[in-house]
Amino acid sequence: MRWIGLLTLMFAMGSAQAFGLGDLDKLSKGLKKAKEIKEDTKYLRGAMDEDEERKIGRDIAATLLAAAPPVDDEALQLYVNQVGRWVASQSERPDLEWTFGILDTDSINAFATPGGYVFVTKPLFLLLNSEAELAGVLGHEIAHVVEKHHIIALQKAVGTKYLMKGLLKAGEKNMDDDDVEVLDKVLGAGKELYTKGLDRKDEYEADRNGVVLAARAGYNPYGFLDTLATLNTIDPSDKSLALLTNTHPSTTDRLEALDPVMDKRLGKYVEQKNAGNRFRQYKASLLQVAEN
């Protein structure tokens, strides 16, 4: 954007010299119009009825859950919903039907789908050391939902109308051949999104917004840096990390982008709660269940 500003300035200066003031007036009107158009497209990006968004999120979540079911541990699932809902309550979309789950797989990862579904895999949960770290991971995923990163990416990939037609039909019994074809295409784009990942800039934005959400919820926001540092100690070629590596910037790049911008706004919240004891109780019971 900076170069556009510069270009505009150069253009404005140039025209002020070459033409009369009337031309300058025309130019400023033109700029205003351009700005309005930009605002309009910004509104269109990700624009979608909340019920529709939720329905699309449910379709994609159903696909992810088919590959990895939720862990059968009610106390743990309630715990992660308590923490998640609290962090999500600090966001700009506090009233979505936020649904959180720990998934039984040996892949280290976390996901969100549109409308407020957030998943953390069991081995990622076991790598964390405090509720503040969990809040950071959930905050990152919540940020994707709040910013509608997946919806925007899907709209780009298949077009808004196609997306609606395809995903809204999912789960319905009376689909004709055309519907099935459209649905397959759209679900294919959805799968690709979850295997190839979002735009890398969306990941950096979710990192920055996620730590702010954790801090708003009263947690030590630096827990998330600890999580990234832990992930960074794992050999990137490790298979359990493959999907995370394929869908995110390297943890080194993420640490180096996030770390220097945190202190100015979040430095004073470093003394906030880690809630390590409460977290470790759930972690211990999950480990015990796994060992028995």
CB of 136 to another protein, least distance (A): 11
Query: Which two structure tokens, joined as six digits, stand for 156?
Result: 């780009």
CB of 253 to another protein, least distance (A): 7
The sign of the torsion formed by the CA atoms of 49, 52, 58, 59 equals negative
Choose between 159 and 188: whose C-beta lies nearer to another protein: 188
CB of 208 to another protein, least distance (A): 5
Strands 117-121, 110-113: parallel, antiparallel or unpaired by DSSP?
antiparallel
Choose between 16 and 75: whose C-beta lies nearer to another protein: 75
Question: Can you give the length of the chain in residues?
Answer: 292
Choose between 48 and 79: whose C-beta lies nearer to another protein: 79
Choose between 155 and 223: whose C-beta lies nearer to another protein: 223
CB of 12 to another protein, least distance (A): 20
Choose between 25 and 256: whose C-beta lies nearer to another protein: 256
**C-alpha span between 138 and 205 (Å, rounded):** 14
From its phi and psi, is residue 148 left (phi > 0), alpha (psi between -120 and 50) or beta? left
CA 223 to chain centre: 18
CB of 11 to another protein, least distance (A): 19
